[in-house]
Amino acid sequence: MNHKVAKFGGTSLANFEAMSRCADIVLSSQSTRIVVVSASSGVTNLLVSLSTGALPATQRNAAIAKISEIQSAIATHLELSSQQLSLIDDLLEKVGDIATSIARLNVGEEQVRTQLTDKLLACGEQLSSTLFTQVLIERGVNAHWLDVRDVMRTSSDFGKATVCIDTVVQLASERITPLLEKQVIVTQGFIGSDEAGNTTTLGRGGSDYSAALLGEATHCSQIDIWTDVTGIFTTDPRITAQAYALEEISFNEAAEMATFGAKVLHPSTLIPAMRCKIPVFVGSSRAPEAGGTIVRNETESKPVYRAIALRREQTLLTVTSMDMLHAPGFLARVFTILAKYNLSVDLVTTSEVSVAITLDNTGSNSGGNTQISQAMLAELEAVCQVTIEKDLALVALIGNAIDTSYGVGTRLFSTLHDVNVRMICQGASSHNLCFLVEGNQATDVISRLHHAMFEQNAQGVA
């Protein structure tokens, strides 16, 4: 069957009016047969605050009441069945029970906390998917609510689980594909379950990834990501008003953008699409008529400069040891320690006796907790001197043939002649040039670079 997967983000499901616009989009395309939803806007943030266990009882109750208020405001417009109402009530009660359990945990029970956090955060998607299914039903769609945990099998790495892709493909063929001809499947992004049936999450922002995985598993023709912006922009339009939406972008370019901070797509989203060469469309649920950006394997245009991505809250970790000098195996020891604590390294530069690496501190797991632990630092300090610099920003210039195009470095450094570039990486990819600057300079750096690389080009300046 030639079908599409549509994913709707939190702002697209913020209230009944927003959900109605999403229903219009589903109704406008007979080929949309799988709908993946995030939690309603604001709900996940409230659940994350509850997952810390730090809120006093009054604030916990206020957060739970706010979640109930957001969902009840949608529910009042719907004719929910007794079964649906019971499910919503059970989920809200579950939120309160889990939040209380987390608050009662003792110091050192982090594994239990992380597992409970996944159960807590999953409630957001379960609530929104229940409500949106009914929105579609009342618009005449033969919609079927599916618990994605029956299909999305993962590891037991709570907070950032790894998907067991072969199992997902098998389960999807058994439990989703047979239904697609007659029904529209509404399910949840971001969550899954391990072999024991425990709820897991794919890391915050994983709803896009869920949609792509389900698209791959069911051999869809296109994945539509509906958000609150009209496509993928040359840079964050909140930084410069001169940013504009791109008509097209290649998988490689979009993957670089997602990896280095562009928030329109989750970094993992494109991996399943790239494997199967499934086009990905990004558009605004508020203005679907405005079009959007299509991400495909090959694009007609291949400019040197396509976009600029920004990722804040970066940490620069520098390890130094004289043992590095002409000694094999030192880097392996360092990276083995990082791997032990599931730390993903972004940029790396080396000298004779030191290695500088960047780590993303924006929240590597669903609860938003940094993964730079004291235990990890203690192991590193046993073999080398460790220096940590925080509050940096990673800027990535994205395009094509950047590693072989003349003048890229000249234009970059002449534009930023008065900025201290703390670290730079080029050559590993033909699609990016990355560097670190102080976090408080990031906005100015992006604005100046965009003018130099894009606006001047548009005016015919070389």
pLDDT digits (tens, 9 = 90+) for 356-395: 999 876 544 555 555 678 888 999 998 889 999 999 999 9
pLDDT tens per residue, range 297-314: 999 889 999 999 999 989
Q: What share of the chain has pLDDT > 70, as a percent?
A: 95
Q: How does residue 462 score in pLDDT terms, banded at 50, 70 and 90?
A: very low
Distance separating alpha carbons of residues 66 and 88, to the nearest angstrom: 14
pLDDT at position 360, please? 79
Q: What is the pTM of this model?
A: 0.85
pLDDT at position 204, please? 67
More confident residue, 115 or 428: 115
Distance separating alpha carbons of residues 177 and 165, to the nearest angstrom: 16
pLDDT at position 363, please? 46
Range of weakest confidence among 18-27, 156-165, 300-309, 326-335:
326-335
Contact 129, 186 (CB under 8 A): yes
Q: How does residue 343 score in pLDDT terms, banded at 50, 70 and 90?
A: confident
pLDDT tens per residue, range 32-81: 999 999 999 999 999 999 999 999 999 999 999 999 999 999 999 999 99
Residue type, 372: I
pLDDT at position 370, please? 55
Encoded tokens for 164:
């067991």
Range of weakest confidence among 244-253, 343-352, 373-382:
343-352
Distance separating alpha carbons of residues 323 and 338, to the nearest angstrom: 18
